[in-house]
Chain A
Amino acid sequence: MSNEALTTQTTTPVKRDGTFKRVINAIGTDNLTLIFALVILIFLVTVVSGWFGLTGGDKFFSWQNLMNSLAQSIVIVGLLAVGQTVVIVGGALDISVGSVASMGSVVAASVLVGVGTVGALGIFPTSNVFFAVLAGILTGSVAGLINGFIVTKLRVNATIATLGTLAAFAGFAFLLAPDGKPIGVVTQPAFTWLAQGRFLTNLPIPDLGGTKWVGIPVLTVIFLIVTILFHVLMRYTTFGRSIYALGGNPTAARLAGINLDRLRIIMFVLSGSVAGLTGVLLTSRTTSGNPVNGTGLELQAITAVFLGGAATSGGKGTIFATFLAVLLVGVLNNGMNLLGFNTFVQKVALGFLLVAAVALSQLRQARAEKARTSTAAKS
Chain B
Amino acid sequence: MTITASASPPPETDVRPPGTLEIRNICKAFPNVQALDNVSLDIRPGEVLAFVGENGAGKSTLLKIINGDYQPDSGTLTLDGQQFSFSSPYAAHKAGIRVIYQEPEIVPGVDVAENIWIGELPQRGGFVDRRRLYEQVQKGLEEYGFADILPVHLMGDELSPAQRQLVEIMRALKEGVRVLALDEPTSSLTDEEVDRLFTLVRRLRDEGVAIIYVSHRIKEILELCDRVAVLRDGRLIAVRPASELDNNEIVRLMVGREISDIFQRRRNDTGREVLRVENLNSYWHSNVNFHINAGEVVGFAGLVGAGRSELAKVIFGEMPKISGRVIINGKEVDISHPEEAINNGIGFAPEDRKREGLVLIRSVLENASIAILKQLSRFTFVNQHRERSVVSGFIEKLQVRTPSVEQEVSKLSGGNQQKVVLARWLAAKPKVLILDEPTRGIDVGAKAEIYRLIDDLANEGLGIMFISSELPEILGLSDRIYVMQNGRITGELSAAEATEEAVLALAMADQLTATASRSEN
Binding site for B on A (CB under 8 A): 236-239, 241-242, 244-245, 248-249, 251-259, 311, 315-316, 372
Contact = CB atoms under 8 A, between A and B. Distances in A.
A241 B373 contact: yes
Contact of A256 (B361, B371, B380, B382): B371
Give the bracket for the number of chain B residues in contact with chain A: 20 to 34
A248 B362 contact: yes
B173 interface: no
A253 B361 CA distance: 13
Given A257-B371, A315-B362, 9 more contacts: A236-B384, A237-B380, A248-B359, A248-B360, A248-B362, A251-B355, A252-B358, A255-B316, A255-B348
Given A239-B380, A254-B318, A315-B362, A259 B356 contact: no
B175 interface: no
Contacts of A255: 316, 318, 338, 348, 350, 356-357
Interface of B: 316, 318, 337-339, 341-343, 348, 350, 355-362, 366, 369-371, 373-374, 377, 380-382, 384, 411, 424
B366 A256 contact: no
Contact of A242 (B342, B343, B373, B411): B373
Contacts of B338: 254-257
A237 B376 CA distance: 10
Contacts of B360: 248-249
B368 to A, nearest CB: 10
20 contacts: A238-B373, A238-B382, A241-B373, A242-B373, A244-B366, A245-B370, A253-B370, A254-B338, A255-B316, A255-B318, A255-B338, A256-B370, A257-B338, A257-B341, A257-B342, A257-B370, A258-B339, A259-B339, A315-B361, A372-B411
A237 B382 contact: yes
A376 to B, nearest CB: 8
B358 A249 contact: yes
Contacts of A239: 380
The 5 A-B pairs of least Cβ separation, nearest first, read A248-B359, A257-B342, A256-B370, A249-B359, A238-B373
A334 B361 CA distance: 36
B358 A237 contact: no
Contacts of A259: 337, 339
B361 A258 contact: no
A245 B366 contact: yes
A245 B362 contact: yes
A237 B381 CA distance: 4
Nearest to B356: A251
A253 B360 CA distance: 11
B372 to A, nearest CB: 9
Nearest to B383: A236
Contacts of A372: 411
A241 B373 CA distance: 8
Consensus secondary structure, chain A interface: helix
A253 B359 contact: yes
A119 B360 CA distance: 50
Nearest to B363: A244
Contacts of B339: 257-259
A241 B366 contact: yes
Contacts of B377: 237-238
A242 B373 CA distance: 9
A238 B356 CA distance: 20
Contact of B374 (A236, A238, A245): A238
B424 to A, nearest CB: 7
B382 A252 contact: no
B207 to A, nearest CB: 46
Nearest to A233: B380
B362 A244 contact: yes
A241 B370 contact: yes
Contacts of A311: 361
Contacts of B381: 236-237
Contacts of B355: 249, 251-252
Nearest to B346: A257
A238 B366 contact: no
Nearest to B424: A256
B149 to A, nearest CB: 34
A239 B359 CA distance: 16
A252 B384 CA distance: 22
A258 B382 contact: no
Contacts of B411: 372
Contacts of B374: 238
Contacts of A256: 338, 342, 370-371, 424
Contacts of A241: 366, 369-370, 373, 382
A372 B357 CA distance: 21
Chain A CB within 10 A, most for which of B357, B370, B411:
B370
Contacts of A244: 359, 362, 366
A245 B424 CA distance: 14
Contacts of B424: 256
A316 B355 CA distance: 17
Contact of B361 (A236, A242, A254, A316): A316
A305 to B, nearest CB: 17
Nearest to A316: B361
A142 B219 CA distance: 62
A257 B339 CA distance: 4
B26 to A, nearest CB: 22
B127 to A, nearest CB: 34
B247 to A, nearest CB: 39
A141 B355 CA distance: 33
Contacts of B316: 255
A172 B355 CA distance: 41
B435 to A, nearest CB: 13
Contacts of B357: 252, 255
Chain A CB within 10 A, most for which of B362, B374, B411:
B362
A245 B365 CA distance: 12
Contacts of A238: 373-374, 377, 380, 382
A260 to B, nearest CB: 9
A257 B371 CA distance: 6
Contacts of B343: 257
Nearest to A25: B406
B442 to A, nearest CB: 14
Chain B CB within 10 A, most for which of A241, A244, A316, A372:
A241
A244 B369 CA distance: 13
A245 B356 CA distance: 12
A85 to B, nearest CB: 16
